[in-house]
C-alpha cells in the first residue's frame, strides 16, 4: 500500500500438513481456525516433532489357539514387517521382557464367568510380566455391543493402579476386520516404542478404541447436573422449552419415581411463582424446589 512492505503469501492449513512433516514434525494433530472459512485470519496448529519409533524385533501373541482367525492375521502382519513372534497359549508361560499382544478377549469376554484357575493365571501374568501388555478386547466405551467386556476394562484399570502393570487396552468394534485390527494394534505399538515415551515426564494414554478404522482415545467429559440438564433441553412446543422433573406415580413407593416432561413459560397475568423450601417425596423431606401455581 505504499509503505514499502511486501504482503506475506498466504499458506493454507492444508499446506501446513505437508510443510511441517518436511521440516521434521509429525502430521498436525489438530488445526483450529479463528473464524469460519474464508473469513479466518489465523490458525492454531498442534504438531509434535518427529520421533523415530523403534520397531521391536520380537513380540509375543497370547491366545487360546494358534489357529484362531485373528491370530493368523496378526501373526502374518507382524512377520511381514520383520518381527519374530512367539505364540503362547493361555495358561502357559510367556517370555520375559517381551511386549505381549493379547487376543484372549477377541472372541468372548475373558473376565466374565472366569474360572478360579483362569483367574489365577491371569493374575500371574499381570503381576510378574515386566514388559508392556497390549490387550485387544471388544468395544466397551465406544459403540458397546456387549456390556460384559467392561469387566475386562475395569480389571486392567485396577492392575495399572495396584500392580503398576503397563497394560494398554485396545477396544475393537465387532465389524472391524482382522487386517484392520492388526494395523491398528501395530500403530499403537509403534506409539509406545518411541524413545520420547521413556521419559518420566510423559503420561501416556493407556486406553484406545478402534472404530471405523480410526483410532480413538476415550475421555471423560465432566459436567454438573445443571449443565447436563441444560444440554438436554428440547423444544417440543414453540412457546416453551421442555424440561424433565421427577414425579412419584404412587405415593410411598420409591420404585414409582420417574421422569416426566414439564413445560415452563413466562409468567402470564394471574400467575404467581412460589419457591418452596422443602418438598415431601415418599413422606420424607428433600431438597428445595420451585413450583408454579396458577391463581384465578
3-state DSSP call for residue 89? strand
- pLDDT tier, 280 (very low <50, low <70, confident <90, very high otherwise): low
3-state DSSP call for residue 294? strand
d(CA 151, CA 284): 37
**What are the boundaries of each domain within the chain?**
13-46, 58-216, 225-294
* Greatest mean pLDDT range, 62-71, 195-204, 252-261: 62-71
Better-predicted residue by pLDDT, 76 or 258: 76
Across the strands, what pairs with 167? 133
C-alpha dist (Å) from residue 49 to 20, 21, 52, 116? 9, 9, 10, 47
Q: Please say whether the beta carbons of 178 and 138 come within 8 A.
A: no
- Mean per-residue pLDDT for 99-103? 94
At residue 215's C-alpha, the angle toward residues 16 and 56, to 5°, is 90
Which of 47-61, 139-153, 189-203, 207-221 has the weakest average pLDDT? 189-203
Grid coordinates given for 155: 480389571
- pLDDT tier, 255 (very low <50, low <70, confident <90, very high otherwise): confident
Grid coordinates given for 170: 485396545
pLDDT > 80? residue 121: yes
- Mean per-residue pLDDT for 12-16? 74
d(CA 175, CA 179): 12
pLDDT > 60? residue 198: no
Which of 33-42, 131-140, 184-193 has the weakest average pLDDT? 33-42
When the pLDDT of each residue in the chain is averaged and rounded to a whole number, the result is 79
- pLDDT tier, 252 (very low <50, low <70, confident <90, very high otherwise): confident
Q: Which of 55, 125, 106, 105 is nearest to 84 (CA)?
A: 55
3-state DSSP call for residue 258? strand
Cα 256 versus chain centre, distance: 34
- As separate numbers, helices (DSSP H) first and strands (DSSP E) second, the chain gives 6, 16
pLDDT > 60? residue 291: no
- pLDDT tier, 283 (very low <50, low <70, confident <90, very high otherwise): low
CATH topology of domain 58-216: Rossmann fold (3.40.50)
d(CA 183, CA 225): 40
Amino acid at each position: 500500500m505504499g509503505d514499502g512492505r511486501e504482503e506475506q503469501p498466504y499458506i493454507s492449513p492444508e499446506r501446513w500438513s505437508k510443510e511441517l512433516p518436511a521440516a521434521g514434525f509429525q502430521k498436525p494433530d489438530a488445526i483450529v481456525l479463528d473464524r469460519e472459512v474464508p473469513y479466518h485470519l489465523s490458525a492454531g496448529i498442534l504438531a509434535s516433532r518427529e520421533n523415530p519409533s523403534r520397531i521391536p524385533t520380537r513380540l509375543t501373541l497370547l491366545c487360546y489357539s494358534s489357529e484362531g482367525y485373528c491370530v493368523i492375521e496378526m501373526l502374518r502382519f507382524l512377520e511381514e514387517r520383520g518381527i519374530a513372534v512367539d505364540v503362547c497359549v493361555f495358561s502357559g508361560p510367556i517370555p520375559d521382557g517381551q511386549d505381549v499382544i493379547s487376543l484372549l478377549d477377541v472372541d468372548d469376554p475373558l473376565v466374565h464367568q472366569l474360572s478360579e484357575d483362569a483367574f489365577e493365571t491371569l493374575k500371574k501374568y499381570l503381576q510378574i510380566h515386566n514388559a508392556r501388555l497390549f490387550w485387544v478386547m471388544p468395544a466397551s466405551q465406544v459403540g458397546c455391543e456387549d456390556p460384559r467386556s467392561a469387566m475386562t476394562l475395569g480389571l486392567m484399570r485396577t492392575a495399572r493402579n495396584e500392580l503398576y502393570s503397563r497394560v494398554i487396552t485396545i477396544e475393537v468394534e465387532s465389524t472391524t476386520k482382522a487386517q484392520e485390527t492388526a494395523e491398528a494394534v501395530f500403530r499403537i505399538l509403534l506409539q509406545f516404542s518411541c524413545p520420547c515415551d521413556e521419559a518420566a515426564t510423559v503420561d501416556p494414554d493407556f486406553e484406545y478404541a478402534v472404530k471405523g478404522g480410526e483410532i480413538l482415545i476415550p475421555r471423560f467429559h465432566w459436567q454438573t447436573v445443571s449443565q447436563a440438564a441444560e444440554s438436554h433441553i428440547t423444544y417440543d412446543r414453540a412457546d416453551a422449552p421442555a424440561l424433565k422433573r421427577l414425579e412419584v406415580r404412587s405415593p410411598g413407593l420409591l420404585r414409582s419415581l420417574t421422569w416426566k416432561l414439564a413445560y415452563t413459560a413466562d409468567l402470564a397475568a394471574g400467575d404467581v411463582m412460589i419457591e418452596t423450601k422443602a418438598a415431601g417425596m415418599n413422606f420424607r423431606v428433600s431438597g428445595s424446589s420451585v413450583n408454579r401455581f396458577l391463581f384465578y
